[in-house]
Amino acid sequence: MIAPQKAIHYERYEFRKWESHDAETIVESPVSLTVNGEVWLTFMCTPVNLEAMSVGFLYNEGLLESMDEVEDVRVCEHGDNVDVWLNRSVEQPQSWRRTSGCTGGVTAVDALARVDVSFNGDQPRVAPEAIGQLVERLFESQELYRETGGVHTSALSDGEKIVLVAEDIGRHNTLDKIAGLCLMNDLWPETRILITTGRISSEMLQKAARLQAPILISRTSPSSLSIEMAERYGITLIGYARRDRFNVYSNRQRIQLA
Amino acid sequence: MIAPQKAIHYERYEFRKWESHDAETIVESPVSLTVNGEVWLTFMCTPVNLEAMSVGFLYNEGLLESMDEVEDVRVCEHGDNVDVWLNRSVEQPQSWRRTSGCTGGVTAVDALARVDVSFNGDQPRVAPEAIGQLVERLFESQELYRETGGVHTSALSDGEKIVLVAEDIGRHNTLDKIAGLCLMNDLWPETRILITTGRISSEMLQKAARLQAPILISRTSPSSLSIEMAERYGITLIGYARRDRFNVYSNRQRIQLA
């Protein structure tokens, strides 16, 4: 196994002087995904929760629905491959083959059609104060970040507390890890709110839709496409969230007005 | 053509009050890359400098060396596809790697082995003050960021001034755009310093190596793998750079000591 952080040494220049520092940096590591014995792709990721990331990725891409379909999931001894065996044959999606891999774009475009959700109405409701509290709790739950910096954290909340947390150098991997942790722990809170330190691209939005989370909160900014998709799916998209302030880009009706 | 920014409307909650805002957000758009008539992949990107991004991507992946090999590069009228025609046949690489990139970047696993550079010695030299100035100039050159936020900017410097600038929602796309702008303008300064707002993953480091830039400066953090690769290539890797301070993770010998 590979540790998620690594000791490094660097020189800091400040006030016209040099200082030596020892620190930890976040590990980025190539990890291949093998499905039913066939290598599908290589994640660049932080090597923690690799089993969850792998089954969560397959879930988020619409290729599996529950752990009942998973015979075995195992990280190889060197930590650079995850073997997933399903109890049935599975075709690597055609568009991956055509693009020889898994570009965000192509899988996003295809998976978009596969994610068939539409959140209606104003449920679940969330108070403005609760949004600030969830963001605070996300920060408190950041273990790797405190040690290394440079890592993204996402969390799943049931509307009151943080249920699951995942960290990775790649923000989209954090949502695959969340999905995998839900699957592997059979933990699907009725109310699902996702909070993330990462920017919201279409890929992030799509994974949130697949995770059936009608509320998605980011510390930072959404892209134009993610706003359009949030409107289409009926997702409440919140950006630049801090303890006492945030922006709402779509479906504000779920936020109880102050 | 699609504009790189889009007007949006959002509601801001602060001090227990709501306020309506009109703003611009950065556009994220799927753009497919067609090479010699065959669709290869889809970029998720900000639709500006798409021709440069496409040929720069092929260059950074080691699939072309100069514009002499490019018969034609053209953005289709809807702005969602770039047609690149080479003057020879080309094989799509077998294995693409899913990266930690901002929008789920893709890069060929094999490319690492293909980048055959090793920067030796202490040339070019750069003064600590010059590093701060380059970072300042990077910020000054951010056009989309000032309008929208949520965008990455990278710049190529010849050691004295900023020569080229590229912006994109995906940080790896900015270095593909830089490569393409170098190619299309036949602009290859002898001294090459790259400055970027984005985190340094292995993919970013690899593109810098391919661009023959022995100095890479980031506003933020490097991953463990990028530090290892910088050591292997002989690249001076600088992180958390501001006007008056920065961290050096490898090959400090190029920085003139204060």
pLDDT tens per residue, range B230-240 = 999 999 999 99
With an 8 Å Cβ cutoff, are A28 and B149 in contact? Answer: no
Q: Chain B neighbours among A 25-84 (CB < 8 Å)?
A: 25-30, 41-45
Write out the two tokens for B18.
């709501």
Please tell me which residue, B216 or B151, carries the higher pLDDT value. B216
Local structure of A61: helix, strand or coil: coil
Please report residues of A whose CB lies closer than 8 A to that of B5. Answer: 224
% of chain B with per-residue pLDDT over 90? 69
- The ipTM value here is 0.83
Residue by residue, pLDDT tens for chain A (258 residues) are: 678 889 999 999 998 899 999 998 889 998 999 999 998 888 889 999 999 999 999 999 999 999 999 999 999 988 889 999 999 999 887 655 333 222 333 344 444 545 777 888 888 999 999 999 999 999 888 887 776 677 899 999 999 999 999 999 999 999 999 999 999 999 999 999 999 999 999 989 999 999 999 999 999 999 999 999 999 999 999 999 999 999 999 999 999 875
Q: Which of B28, B43, B249 is closest, CB to CB, to A223?
A: B28
Flag if B97 and A98 touch (Cβ within 8 Å): no
pLDDT band at B96, cuts 50/70/90?
Answer: low
Asked if A207 and A179 touch (Cβ cutoff 8 Å), the reply is yes
Q: Do B165 and B158 form a contact (C-beta atoms < 8 A)?
A: no
The whole-angstrom separation of Cα B27 and Cα A225 is: 7
- In this predicted structure, what is the pLDDT of residue B26? 87
Option in B5, B44, B224 nearest A108 (CB): B44
Query: Given a cut of 60, is residue B112 above it in pLDDT?
Result: no
Ordered by where they begin, the domains of chain A are: 29-114 (3.10.20.10), 128-254 (3.40.140.10)
3-state secondary structure of A252: helix
pLDDT confidence band for B65 (50 / 70 / 90): very high
Summarised one tens digit per residue, pLDDT across range B178-228 is 999 999 999 999 999 999 999 999 999 999 999 999 999 999 999 999 999
Question: Minimal CA–CA distance to B61: which of B120, B26, B107, B100?
Answer: B107
Cβ atoms of residues B228 and B247 within 8 Å = no
Asked if A204 has any chain B CB less than 8 Å from its own CB, the reply is no
Token pair recorded at residue B80: 């969602």
In whole angstroms, what is the distance from residue A10 CA to residue A22 CA? 6
How does A107-144 read in b/e, with b if 16+ C-beta sit within 10 Å?
bbbbbbeebeeebeeeebebebebbbbbbeebbebbeb
pLDDT band at B258; cut points 50, 70, 90 = low
Known catalytic residue at A76:
no
Give the mutation candidate from A103, A144, A196, A256 for the B interface (greatest B CB count, under 10 A).
A103
Using an 8 Å Cβ cutoff, are B171 and B198 in contact?
yes
Could you give the CA distance from residue B46 to residue B52 in angstroms, rounded to a whole number?
12
Q: How far, in Å, CA of A237 to CA of A226, rounded?
A: 9
Q: How far apart are CA B53 and CA B175, in angstroms?
A: 8
Cβ–Cβ contact B11 with A under 8 A: yes
Tell me the mean pLDDT in the region B228-252.
94
- Bridge partner list, A160: none
Question: What pLDDT is attached to residue A35?
Answer: 95
Concatenating the DSSP letter of every residue in A69-132 gives: GEEEEEE-TTSSEEEEEESS--PPPHHHHHHTS--HHHHHHHHHHH------TTPSPB-HHHHH
B44:A258 CB<8 A: no
- The β-bridge partners of B19 are B12
Q: What is the DSSP letter of A204?
A: H
The average pLDDT across B101-120 equals 60
Using CB atoms, pick whichever of A45, A244, A257 lies closest to residue B100.
A45
Q: How far apart are CA B193 and CA B189, in angstroms?
A: 9
Closest of A196, A222, A213 to residue A119, by C-alpha: A213
In chain B, % of residues over pLDDT 70: 90
Token pair listed for B137 = 């100039």
Which of B139 and B147 is assigned the larger pLDDT? B139
Minimal Cβ distance to A100: which of B93, B100, B131: B93
A168·B100 Cβ contact <8 A: yes
Report d(CA B17, CA A257) in Å as an integer: 9
What is the reported pLDDT for B98? Answer: 55
